[in-house]
């Protein structure tokens, strides 16, 4: 029986596994986490709207009825392409076909020291970390008697004006102006300053200029200070330095979030080392038209880890629909090969893209049609609920959203872990402690 | 305006704050966490049935409409009863009346070294820790080729046959026999051994012997190995030693949970030091008939931290209804005193107690009426849903439970934090690392 090993249980890996359900193969899905994460809604966890369990599904539960698939919790270190084995930290798994779909993580453009000060948003732990930092900033402001210091606690800087930055900024603004409006006695959360800093000349740079302008206006209506053409030059404890043209500005703040750079998973380098495949600038593996690696028809790289340039000349974007379609395509290729048929080249069918700004506010580009405002928001809501992998999650998320919509309430505003509100200067020390523990 | 400071946002503190809503007082509720935790359902989080957000409500959200109450996130270190100030780690809060309701935590009967090996279940972090250990034990068993070692991974020991131990044992048995039945390919989760170890001669020793027997039979039907008259004499990495009479037995296991001992919060000692009040054996403050501390009519101690013996001769049990009623009583006493009236003694009105074993199985003692089986389970379900503090949580929990009931599914089975499945011997090192970080 053909042994297919899939590394990574994100959209690409999971859809590949499911598309192989009826194929005469044995599927092994390896992930270091025991759940599939619905990353597009991670910003909702970071802002207290949803619980981690609402957007994560145990991989075993998703695949329990697929008799030809097994799930293995393990950390992949390397690939032995000569013996055709995946090298785990504590074992090896032989394969006949290999699908590498280990995704991407943050990238600080060489400023790795910024990471503890400006966490990104890729994992459940990132989301609960950001949630705790945001909530603790409001708590610390409530306890701070000095107005100037209080304003520093109430300043939030988001680096990066792509979908994640826009969504986080919108959700933060809604929390401050609506959800927590009556929660405090000393501060008025509406005094919070939310700065969205983007290096190019507009937010959502992958959308049309018209939609970017609409998104920026929607954010400004929510009170977000949108700063385009603005580069972050330094992130230090208590202050972010930005540059606009030749002018530098120091923004005192204790809460910075990183939504700017993404780099491919380190397993890209392992694939390149083992097969001689090329990597692009952000570490993605340059793949063939059928998503295989040059010289290895049995090894496929898909999703955020793959650089697929055969359709538009530039790499396809790192979004869930690309990964899902690539996962299904590779499954089909493996099935065809077992029948003795030739592989077909992959074609991405772009159903459109959308970003949400807040309640009743979103932008969507669906082929030639551009939507914004309420209609785009409804479309966004519908698509995201439908895509959630398991029925239970859909139902729960729907309940929670209906409730949030009616009441502005966000019930998952928990500060977990060992934490306390900070006095000035402490935050940096805590962050360093965290980084050390994470290492 | 009379300043009332409440330390602790559990059932006692929160109910006291709410009962003071119409009194001419300024209420300050201090807690080191920003949420109220519905502890009776914590075992559901530990077993993946509910998400932390489902059983926790932000204190600010609960009290947002109560204009005379403010919430302060802070760590209380001591009490200055001469200056009438609560001493925080980083500040002081003056009070006219003080309510100390800081609850209880685990107690290892002098064997504090057992804590990292056998976590208890009092906080959200405890629950996610136990959830991760249980799930990782199954994952490790799935990866273990040696049958003997696999059995060690599939052995779970619960120390303590009170309500928490019974509820955890029942929920674990259901996960193994139903929820995860089809999740694995190498192991059959139904082979899991779940041992419930209790020192006295029956489980649920605070109930009648008839109900204890029914609970034990219900557990055994679920496959739980109930060991009464059994004392734990040692917990070491990989093995628990128990003693029955003069016979010792070594039980190889990597997953031990502690549900045996509870001790009052360290703030009990601070109260005793400051006021000269007596502490009982487990560190609870011995209170007057009106719940005040001898010699300090303005200081009250309630809930799990109080030892109230004036009604039955023995201390009232550490359960939510006692704390709630005491919170309300103290609020009334403060209001009466402001009107120049005398305090009245507290009387606990016992509406009954109940413990759940599994789906459709519970025991309940309501005055002279004893229920077991399905009816008791329905009563338990109704009472617990109704008590959940906020409407949103009730709705969500209801949805989740309805779904779990129909499908045996548990969606919140996430392993979070930096973890990987273990090979033999590693678990102890991880636990030690955790204890070091927690210190």
Distance (Å, whole) CA B207 – CA B354 = 9
- Facing A53 at nearest CB: one of B139, B412, B437: B412
Residues in B closer than 8 angstroms to A415, CB to CB, are 33-35, 73
3-state helix vs strand vs coil in chain B, percent to 5: 35, 25, 35
Q: What is the DSSP letter of B342?
A: P
Question: What is the distance of C-alpha B319 from the center of its chain?
Answer: 9
- Facing B392 at nearest CB: one of A35, A65, A403: A403
* A75 in reach of chain B (CB within 8 A): yes
Q: Do the Cβ atoms of A74 and B396 come within 8 Å?
A: no
Q: How far is B152 from chain A (nearest CA, A)?
A: 18
Going through B245-379 in order, the beta strands assigned E by DSSP cover 247-252, 255-258, 262-264, 285-286, 292-293, 296-301, 306-307, 353-358, 361-366, 369-372
* Six-digit token string for A317: 């974007």
Longest dimension (CA), chain B: 75
Model pLDDT, residue B416: 72
A67: nearest CA partner in chain B? B185
Q: Do the Cβ atoms of A396 and B395 come within 8 Å?
A: no
Q: How far is B419 from chain A (nearest CA, A)?
A: 8
* Six-digit token string for B367: 């005055």
Burial (CB count <10 Å: 0-12, 13-18, 19+), residue B366: middle
Q: Do the Cβ atoms of B420 and A73 come within 8 Å?
A: yes
SS3 A242: strand
Termini Cα distance of chain A: 40
Residues in B closer than 8 angstroms to A413, CB to CB, are 34-35, 58, 61
Instruction: Give the catalytic positions of B in this structure.
Output: 167
Distance (Å, whole) CA A80 – CA B418 = 26
Residues in B closer than 8 angstroms to A437, CB to CB, are 418, 437
Q: How far is B347 from chain A (nearest CA, A)?
A: 34
Q: What percentage of chain B carries pLDDT values higher than 70?
A: 89
Backbone torsions φ then ψ of B164, nearest 5 degrees: -65, -45
Test the B interface: residue of A180, A414, A432 with most B CBs within 10 Å: A414
Test the A interface: residue of B37, B414, B433 with most A CBs within 10 Å: B414
Model pLDDT, residue A384: 79
Pairing of strands A224-227, A193-197: parallel
Model pLDDT, residue A381: 81
Side-chain-side CA neighbours of residue A433 (13 Å): 12
Residues in B closer than 8 angstroms to A58, CB to CB, are 183, 411, 413-414
Model pLDDT, residue A57: 85
Q: What angle do CA B255, B226, B177 make, to 5 degrees?
A: 65
Q: How far is B439 from chain A (nearest CA, A)?
A: 10
Q: Do the Cβ atoms of B53 and A414 come within 8 Å?
A: yes
* Six-digit token string for B77: 């270190």
Distance (Å, whole) CA B39 – CA B122 = 7
Choose, from A167, A174, A178, A198, the residue flagged as catalytic.
A167
Q: How far is B436 from chain A (nearest CA, A)?
A: 11
Mean pLDDT by runs of 10 across the 439 residues of chain A is 96 96 97 91 88 86 92 95 95 97 89 92 92 92 93 97 94 89 89 96 94 96 96 96 95 96 92 97 95 97 97 92 96 96 95 88 91 90 72 62 65 66 40 33
Q: How far is B175 from chain A (nearest CA, A)?
A: 12
**C-alpha torsion angle, residues B296, B300, B305, B309 (rounded to 10):** 80
Q: How far is A81 from chain B (nearest CA, A)?
A: 23
* Six-digit token string for B204: 């649920």
* A15 in reach of chain B (CB within 8 A): no
Test the B interface: residue of A41, A47, A58 with most B CBs within 10 Å: A58
Q: What is the DSSP string of A288-328?
A: -TTSEETTEEEEEE-GGGEE--TTTSSPPPS-HHHHHHHHH
Q: Do the Cβ atoms of A438 and B423 come within 8 Å?
A: no
Model pLDDT, residue A418: 59
Residues in B closer than 8 angstroms to A76, CB to CB, are none
Long-range Cβ contact pairs of A242-247 (< 8 A, separation 24 or more): A242/A197
Q: Do the Cβ atoms of B438 and A415 come within 8 Å?
A: no
In the structure, how many helices (H) and strands (E) does chain B have?
A: 12, 25
* A396 in reach of chain B (CB within 8 A): yes
Model pLDDT, residue A413: 73
ipTM: 0.83
* A143 in reach of chain B (CB within 8 A): yes
* Six-digit token string for B272: 């005793």
Residues in A closer than 8 angstroms to B438, CB to CB, are 418
Q: What is the DSSP letter of B87?
A: E
* B56 in reach of chain A (CB within 8 A): yes
* A239 in reach of chain B (CB within 8 A): no
Backbone torsions φ then ψ of B92, nearest 5 degrees: -140, 150
Q: Do the Cβ atoms of A124 and B399 come within 8 Å?
A: no
pLDDT under 70 in chain B at which residues? 388-411, 417-439
Q: Do the Cβ atoms of B58 and A413 come within 8 Å?
A: yes
Distance (Å, whole) CA A117 – CA A111 = 11
* Six-digit token string for B9: 């946002």
* Six-digit token string for A9: 């249980």
Q: Do the Cβ atoms of B53 and A438 come within 8 Å?
A: no
Residue B285 · residue B264 · CB < 8 Å: yes
* B438 in reach of chain A (CB within 8 A): yes
- Facing A411 at nearest CB: one of B393, B399, B413: B393
Q: Do the Cβ atoms of B416 and A124 come within 8 Å?
A: yes
Burial (CB count <10 Å: 0-12, 13-18, 19+), residue A173: buried
Test the A interface: residue of B76, B92, B128, B392 with most A CBs within 10 Å: B392
Model pLDDT, residue B428: 35
* B143 in reach of chain A (CB within 8 A): yes
> Which positions 397-416 of B are in contact with A (Cβ < 8 Å)?
399-400, 403, 407, 409, 411-416
Backbone torsions φ then ψ of A161, nearest 5 degrees: -105, 25
> Which positions 107-126 of B are in contact with A (Cβ < 8 Å)?
124-125
pTM of the model: 0.87
Q: Say how many CB pairs under 8 Å bridge A and B.
A: 159
Give Cα separations from A313 to A204, A325, A398 (angstroms).
Answer: 21, 18, 39
B424: nearest CA partner in chain A? A90
Q: What is the DSSP string of B303-325?
A: GGGEE--TTTSSPPPS-HHHHHH
């Amino acid at each position: 029986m053909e042994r297919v090993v899939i590394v990574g249980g994100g959209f690409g890996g999971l859809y590949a596994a499911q598309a192989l359900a009826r194929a005469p193969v044995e599927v092994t899905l390896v992930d270091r986490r025991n759940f599939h994460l619905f990353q597009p809604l991670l910003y909702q966890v970071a802002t207290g709207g949803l619980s981690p369990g609402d957007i994560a599904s145990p991989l075993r539960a998703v695949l329990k009825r697929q008799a030809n698939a097994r799930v293995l919790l393990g950390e992949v270190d390397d690939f032995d392409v000569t013996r055709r084995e995946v090298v785990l930290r504590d074992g090896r798994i032989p394969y006949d076909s290999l699908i590498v779909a280990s995704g991407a993580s943050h990238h600080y453009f060489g400023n790795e020291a910024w990471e503890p000060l400006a966490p990104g948003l890729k994992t459940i732990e990132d989301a609960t970390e950001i949630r705790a930092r945001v909530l603790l900033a409001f708590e610390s402001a409530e306890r701070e008697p000095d107005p100037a210091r209080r304003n520093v606690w109430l300043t939030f800087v988001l680096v990066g004006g792509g979908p994640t930055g826009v969504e986080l900024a919108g959700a933060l603004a809604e929390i401050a102006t609506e959800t927590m409006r009556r929660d405090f006695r000393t501060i008025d959360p509406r005094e919070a300053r939310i700065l969205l800093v983007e290096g190019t000349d507009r937010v959502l740079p992958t959308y049309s200029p018209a939609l970017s302008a609409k998104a920026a206006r929607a954010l400004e209506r929510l009170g977000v200070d949108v700063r385009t053409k603005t580069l972050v030059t330094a992130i230090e404890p208590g202050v972010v330095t930005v540059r606009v043209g030749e002018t530098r500005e120091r923004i005192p703040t204790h809460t910075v979030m990183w939504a700017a750079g993404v780099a491919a998973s380190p397993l890209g380098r392992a694939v390149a080392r083992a097969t001689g495949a090329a990597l692009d600038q952000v570490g993605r593996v340059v793949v063939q038209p059928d998503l295989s690696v040059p010289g290895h028809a049995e090894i496929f790289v898909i999703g955020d880890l793959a650089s697929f340039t055969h359709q538009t000349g530039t790499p396809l974007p790192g979004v869930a629909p690309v990964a899902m379609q690539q996962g299904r395509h590779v499954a089909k290729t493996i099935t065809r090969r077992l029948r003795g048929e030739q592989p077909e080249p992959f074609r991405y069918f772009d159903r459109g893209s959308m970003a949400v700004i807040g309640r009743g506010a979103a932008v969507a580009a669906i082929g030639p049609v551009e939507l914004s405002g309420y209609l785009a928001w409804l479309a966004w809501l519908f698509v995201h609920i439908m895509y959630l992998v398991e029925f239970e999650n859909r139902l729960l998320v729907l309940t929670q959203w209906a409730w949030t919509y009616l009441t502005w309430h966000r019930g998952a505003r928990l500060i977990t872990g060992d934490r306390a509100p900070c006095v000035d200067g402490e935050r940096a020390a805590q962050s360093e402690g965290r980084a050390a523990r994470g290492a």
